[in-house]
Amino acid sequence: MTERGRFLVLEGIDGCGKTTQIQHLRQWLPSSGLMPAGAELVVTREPGGTELGRALRELLLHPPGAAAPCSTAELLLYAADRAQHVQEHIRPALEAGHWVLSDRFSGSTAAYQGYGRGLPLALIEQLSLIACRGLQPDLTLLLDVPLAESLRRRGHRLADRIEASGEAFLARVCAGFVALAAQPGWQRLDGTQPAEQVSAALQAAITQCCRAERPGADA
């Protein structure tokens, strides 16, 4: 029987360095010795990891005219994106023994729509259970940077609808990520360090996780 692959997620506010570190992990993981022979690394993202997800991403981040979704509709669109992502892309890859590295997953929904928008965390968790059908990451890695540093790094880049929700909103999101990172299955890393040091910390955290005994019940 093929061993189930590992599911790794990078989380953090925009400007935390996820894009840089995902590119690093894309190169490092296949040669790390952690992945079994024959396993491939599948790199994906949310929203937008499937064809349907790409259409939903455009609606969420760049809606036409005055068509911006309300907070509840926003939450449901993210849940729809995740349900399709898990069903079509993530679960089949894991069941085939491949490893999946995702830029964002359920933690972002809790941080942005829960702590940021103020929607009930219990509702978000329930929707996540429906969308994921019990699937959870083996390890979620938070690249933690202060909001001021995030804004500095973004510079004059044009903000999408979520990024343009205001500094008070983004401050709640940052605090939400820190609260979530205290949960089992998360690792909080200092994203303000030089990129090479962040990469080394990611490698150490993933190596420790992957060499630990796998929990008895797979998702």
* Residue 124 to residue 132: CA distance in whole angstroms: 12
161: in domain = yes
Find the helix or strand (DSSP H, E) in which 188 lies.
strand 186-190
**Among residues of the chain, what percentage have pLDDT more than 70?**
96
More confident of the two residues 210 and 142: 142
Does the residue 120 lie in any domain? yes
Count the domains in the chain: 1
11: tokens are 């989380």
Handedness of CA 215, 185, 19, 58 (dihedral sign): positive
Higher pLDDT among residues 157 and 167, named by residue: 167
119 neighbors 70 (Cβ within 8 angstroms)? no
- What is the model's pTM? 0.92
Q: Is 177 within the bounds of a domain?
A: yes
pLDDT tens digits for range 90-106: 999 999 999 999 999 99
> 42: domain CATH number?
3.40.50.300
Residue 2 lies in a domain: no
Q: Give the per-residue pLDDT at 30.
A: 96
Is 1 inside a domain boundary? no
- The verdict on residue 138 lying in a domain is yes
And the tokens for 80? 């729809």
Residue range of the domain that includes 123: 7-211
Q: Is residue 216 part of a domain?
A: no
Evaluate whether residue 217 is within a structural domain: no
Q: Mean of the pLDDT values across residues 74-101?
A: 97
Give Cα 21 to chain centroid, integer Å: 13
- What confidence tens digit (pLDDT) does each residue in 173-214 have? 999 999 999 999 999 999 999 999 999 999 999 999 988 755
The pLDDT value recorded for residue 181 is: 97
Query: What pLDDT does 213 receive?
Result: 54
